[in-house]
Amino acid sequence: MTWSTYLAFAGTMAFLAMMPGPDTMVVLKNALTGGARGGGWACAGISVANFLQGTAAAFGLGAVITRYRPLFETVKWLGAAYLVFLGIQALRGAWRGNYEALDDVRRARASRGRRFREGFLSNITNPKVIVLYLSVLPQFLTPASTLGDSLLLAYTVAALGVVWQVALLFFVHRVRAWLQRRRVRRAMDGATGMALMGFGAALAFEG
């Protein structure tokens, strides 16, 4: 694989990483409730799941999941249900709006495991991630490509996702004072909740 091929791949994946999706919404949801640390734990969970899915795709295991329809459908519906569940959580927060009573730093420390699980489960149960790997990676590989080439491309996708999510966390941290206004916070929670439920519905009824 040449450098020009790799750079073309990285540029394409960087663009896709910045497109709003479930991962972005989950990071944003946790950043709003737990600050940069809370969002960071969600980002860590997403990253681990992303690297696992990338590894599976590079070794050919992802193709097994996509070809075995019952397994693929089970993962799809679990992922859809989980995204809807997270969306409902965000909407409940917007409805209650009792943010003044929350200590964000303490909550982030106490619930880091839950935030990690939210990120991990939202990504690992989303079959669109493995489909992305399986549809894009082969376009940049040749018959002479090695397993190392496949892993490099797969891990590049995961790494670019981390970079984008960290940039999002930095932005949220910079405007944190504005985001903590009750009216703004409720609007953000409401929008995030609706987006997560929308992604869940789209995942469930697509294809």
pLDDT tens per residue across span 107-120: 545 578 888 998 89
Mean pLDDT of 28-47: 86
Domain ranges of the chain: 3-14+23-205
DSSP assignment string, the chain: --HHHHHHHHHHHHHHHTS--HHHHHHHHHHHHHHHHHHHHHHHHHHHHHHHHHHHHHTTHHHHHHHSHHHHHHHHHHHHHHHHHHHHHHHHHHHH--GGG--HHHHHHHTHHHHHHHHHHHHHT-HHHHHHHHHHGGGG--TT--HHHHHHHHHHHHHHHHHHHHHHHHHHHHTHHHHTSHHHHHHHHHHHHHHHHHHHHHHHH--
Query: What was the pLDDT predicted at 203?
Result: 67
Confidence class for position 8, pLDDT limits 50, 70, 90: confident
Question: Is residue 65 scored above 50 in pLDDT?
Answer: yes
The string of pLDDT tens digits covering residues 144-192 is: 778 888 899 989 988 998 999 998 888 887 777 666 676 766 777 777 7
- At residue 108, the pLDDT reads 46
Q: Which residue has the higher pLDDT, 100 or 27?
A: 27
pLDDT for res 2: 79
Q: Give the residue, 162 or 60, on which the prediction is more confident.
A: 162
